[in-house]
Each structure stands twice: as C-alpha cells, then as structure tokens.
Structure 1
Amino acid sequence: MPAPAAPPAGRRERKRQQVRDQLYAAALHLFVAQGYEATTMEQIAETADVARATVFNHFSQKVGFLEEWGARRRTRVAEILGSQHAEDLPVGDRLRRYLREMADLNTASRAETTVLMDASARFGRLLQDPSLEIELARIVEQGRQRGEIRHGVDPDQAGALLAASYFSAILRWIREEPAPFDLHERLHSTLDIILLGILTGHGRAGKP
C-alpha cells in the first residue's frame, strides 16, 4: 500500500506558524517605526492583513511580542553555537562566544534593540524572566562537571549574575545615541571580571 499522506494537522501547523511569523514581523516593524506604546493590536492586524481576532489567537497581549523577540534571539544564538560545536569549547570560551553572538545580534539591529529592550524593561518581564539565566547556568554547570569551574560555585547563582550583567550592559548601551561604548568590549571585560574576580592574591589573603 502507498505510504499515507502527511496529516492535515501538519499543514495547519505550518500555516499557523506562517501567520505567527507574519504578525511578529508586522509588530516589530511598527514598534521600530512609531514606538511600542503607540502601536495597537489593531494596527498590527492591519499591517499583517489579518483579522483583529487573529492577533489575539497568537498573542493574547502586546507584551507577548516582546517575549517572542527575546526567545527568538536566544534560539538564534543557540543555533549559531550549535553549528560551531561550541559545546566542545572550555567554559570560559563558550560563555564568551555566547555573549559575543548576542552582541552581534544587538549591534546588527541597534534601532530594533533600542525599542524592544527598552519596552521589555518597562512593560515586560525582562529582569524577571529566568530564560537567559537558565541557559547561562547550564553552560556553567557543564563547565563545573568538567572541572573547569570551582566546585563550590552555584551554577544558578552564576547564571543569574551573568544574565544581570548582560542586561545591565544592554540597557546602558541603548540609553544614548550614538552608542556610548562598544558593546562587544563591555561584555568581554565584564565577563573577565566575573571569571577572574576583582581581588589580587594580596586581597584574597585577608579573607577569613
């Protein structure tokens, strides 16, 4: 007997994803062009050429576009690092590569980053969403398992520290135009401080 055809659900899912991508692209275009606050769900529907109800079927709130933006960026970085087999790198190099790719995405679309990151901080859950912390903590834990991280280091705490440092740098970077500093260099030096610490051998000697 011939092999059964692909189930209709597969086609429906692909169509649903196409509509979601269409809405996402329309929303980002409007956010950058006129600002996050000024953009309405009705305008997003009109730009995407769909019914207003369709927008709410995919994104129940406007803030959902901000969450999608962050998730897609993390996914993109994961894909890039996966293609480069970054999991084989020492943990310090792997963290550096991760932050470098994130910086590449931000600098390549500074106008988009400025609007979306600012909106995420003001209206979204930028500093409450643990997604980036979890990803960075996973890298730290793998490094600890390979003996590259001190055994007493809490991966979750390290991931939180790395994520907070990243967001702090980004929010300062988007504050002025032109950019007040080189984002790559700032993230690189911040990571050095976290990995190496701030105390000299003399400073550590006084630790109880």
Structure 2
Amino acid sequence: MKIPEAGATPAADARPAGRRERKRRQVRDQLYAAALDLFVSQGYETTTMEQIAETADVARATVFNHFSQKVGFLEEWGARRRARVAEILGSSHAEDLPVGDRLRRYLREMAELNIVSRAETAILMDAGARVGSLLHDMSLEIELARIAEQGRQRGELRTGVDADQVGAMLAASYFSTVLRWIRVEPAPFDLRDRLDGALDVILLGALDQNVRQDKDAPTGR
C-alpha cells in the first residue's frame, strides 16, 4: 500500500487561495457548521439537506454543490479531525519522537478531541458506523501506518513487522474502543487510558516475556 504524505487531506490543504476559493471554503465551512449543529440537536437521520441549507442561509442547490450526499458531512468530520491532530503534532515536532511515543500522542490527541465534544462524537461516530463508510474508510489506518513505517525505517520496529498491519490493527482498535465509549452514558471508561492500553498490547504483545521464552524454548525431545 502506498502511504501518502502527512496531512494529505482537503481539510489540511494550506496552499494560498484566491478570492473565489476563499469564498467557496467559507460557504463549505458554513454548511459544515450548520450540519453539525443540526445533527447534535436533532439527530443525523432526521436532519435533511433542506434543513442544512435553511440553517446555513443558502440555496438548497448550494448544499449539493459542496456535499452531494449527507454522508459527506460525516466524511468531512473525520478528515477535519485527522487534520487537526496532524496540525497539533506538527506544531510540537512530534515527528522527532520514537515511533511508540508518536503513535501514543496521535491516539491521545484523537481521544482528547472526542472527550471535549462527546455529544458530537456520539452522534457522528454512531452514524458513521451505521450509514457511513467509517469502518471501511482506510484514512486513519493509512495515517497510522505511515507513522509506523517511519519508525520501521529508523530501525525502531522488530524485523518482519508490517507497518500496514500495525496501522490496520490500531485503526480497528481505535474505532471499536470509541464506539463502546459513546454507547453508554456516562462514559464507561477513560478513553485515553483505554487507547493507551490497546496500543501497549499491539506494540508489546499480550504474553509475558517469560511465557514467550518458554514457548520458544526447545522441548528437549
């Protein structure tokens, strides 16, 4: 799998924009904010594109010019969250950290975004799992695999470890953990601690070192 450069999402594109493009982004942001407000206040399923247009004070056709389907708002939400985490890590030069610490920082920042907007996360993550492409979207998996691959190139991963598999396992663990976290009120566990624990299991393994040594030792027969 070819791993793209960090921040390679529309939401993270920082190239200078002309007046027309700035206006387009402004309208898109306006639509996005209106949609999220409606999703949180009345639910994803009951919100219509017409209501989004009315709340954003634009024509109905304008909504479809930016988001051809309602599920596009869910995809935009995920992309913006990943872009925000990439921005936070970039500003703190997290790329200089060892791979394990960098992955931990990434998952912790994602957890923090979810915690400070739990109601929003509950609505959009649940909708993404049921009607969107959340569990089939490889964007988070690719980003985590990119970090793991950089660690592999620096000799920080065990020989033979597949960075793509690391990314896939971490992404699957992240989504399943957050989905469990949002479906009980109040939150049934600390999301940061649970993601930390999942990362430890994936990076270090579940078996005690002595158990692994005993398993690998000759049987004497």
Q: Give the structure-1-normalised TM-score.
A: 0.94
Residue 59 of structure 1 corresponds to 67
SS in 2 for 1:192: helix
The 2-side partners of 1:29 and 1:20 are apart by 14
CA RMSD of aligned residues (A): 1.1
* 2:23 counterpart of 1:15: yes
Residue 139 of structure 2 corresponds to 131
Deviations 1:18-68 (A, max 9, x none): 000000000000000000000000000000000000000000000000000
Residue 206 of structure 1 corresponds to 215
SS in 2 for 1:186: helix
Deviations 1:94-131 (A, max 9, x none): 00000110011000000000000000000111110100
SS in 1 for 2:184: coil
**Pairing partner for 1:152 from 154, 157, 160:** 160
1:199 Cα deviation from its structure 2 partner = 1.2
Residue 100 of structure 2 corresponds to 92
SS in 2 for 1:127: helix
Residue 169 of structure 1 corresponds to 177
Residue 55 of structure 2 corresponds to 47
**Pairing partner for 1:79 from 84, 87, 91:** 87
**Pairing partner for 1:190 from 176, 198, 203:** 198
Residue 38 of structure 2 corresponds to 30
Q: Which amino acid aligns with 1:113?
A: T
Matched length? 200
Q: Give the structure-2-normalised TM-score.
A: 0.89
Q: Which amino acid aligns with 1:72?
A: R
Unaligned runs of 5+ in 1: 1-8
Decide whether aligned partners of structure 1 residues 201 and 50 sit closer, same or farther in structure 2, where only a CA change above 3 A counts.
same
Deviations 1:164-200 (A, max 9, x none): 0000110000011100000011011111111110112
The 2-side partners of 1:96 and 1:201 are apart by 22
Higher RCO (CA 8 Å, separation ≥ 6 residues): 2
1:201 Cα deviation from its structure 2 partner = 2.7
Residue 6 of structure 2 corresponds to none
The 1-side partners of 2:80 and 2:209 are apart by 42
The 2-side partners of 1:175 and 1:24 are apart by 24
1:203 Cα deviation from its structure 2 partner = 2.6
Unaligned runs of 5+ in 2: 1-16
